[in-house]
Amino acid sequence: MTPARRVVTVASVPTDFLALHRPGSPLLLPNAWDPGSARILATLGFAAVATTSSGFAATLGRPDGALTRDEALAHAAALVTAVDVPVSADLENGYADAPDGVARTVAAAREVGLAGCSVEDHTADEDEPIYDRGLAVERVAAAAQAAGDVVLTARCENYLYGRADLTDTLERLQAYQEAGADVLYAPGLRDLADIATVCREVDRPVNVLLLAGGPTPAELAEAGVARISVGGTFAWNALSALVTAARELLDGEVGFLDRVAPAREVMPEAFGA
């Protein structure tokens, strides 16, 4: 699958973004962590770009979950301005517990020009990591009401927080669908049969997070997945390259000087130089 780069107008972004979600021919949605990485990804040909809460938090020297609502929205706005492809934002749990607070966050996301955004059902409470299903559905319904034509992705976080319960995950996703979500996402699912079941039992596009040792993009396409994302993995690859180069320099080695070509080849077009 080779994604084609598309130039879009601001007015057409949300509609075009949803149209890119095609079961069996999934949108490859890379997660950028700053405007520069977003520009590089768009230049390489990706049809859309997403933010990553963990990757962006790392640029501020913080762990995932340590962003404020205003910081996340300002970051999303910067990416929207940086590229001419649709941008979808990871808005964590909407930076609120109550449905009306989630709605205000999604309404603000709409104002900054995002094509899409996601809201998860993770509470950030270690003792009760997942919202009660009734409240979770109310939160999605409030977000959908506020989203307008922004593509809303509803996330079920069970598998990331020790709740590997396919039945509950599927029932939640179905409920989120009925509440108005445009795209459904259960990060952490890695069994191909389970993923195929989710795709078969819901009526909305399904996003899957690529995981080491999990299904390949081709296998996910065969299962009916409509969107594939990488979370913070691209950011961790970049930081891993930094760590490797720094350790080489500390050891008096200079191998890092020979690994700059891929970036230098893309930067003139990406950055307008």
**What DSSP assignment string belongs to 48-74?**
-EEE-HHHHHHHTT--TT---HHHHHH
The per-residue pLDDT for range 167-196, each reduced to its tens digit, is: 999 999 999 999 999 999 999 999 999 999
Q: pLDDT band for position 10 (50/70/90)?
A: very low
Whether 6 shows a pLDDT value over 80: the answer reads: no
What string of H, E and C letters represents the secondary structure of 134-188? HHHHHHHHHHHHHHCCCEEEEECCHHHCCCCCHHHHHHHHHHHHHCCCCEEECCC
Whether 1 shows a pLDDT value over 60: the answer reads: no
Q: pLDDT band for position 50 (50/70/90)?
A: very high
Whether 12 shows a pLDDT value over 80: the answer reads: no
- What are the φ/ψ torsions at residue 77 (nearest 5 degrees)? -60, -35
Q: What is the pLDDT of residue 2?
A: 34
Instruction: Report the chain's mean pLDDT, rounded to a whole number.
Output: 94
As a whole number of Å, the end-to-end CA separation of the chain is 29
The per-residue pLDDT for range 59-114, each reduced to its tens digit, is: 999 999 999 999 999 999 999 999 999 999 999 999 999 999 999 999 999 999 99
CATH classification code of 10-231: 3.20.20.60
Whether 8 shows a pLDDT value over 50: the answer reads: no
Q: Read off the pTM.
A: 0.93
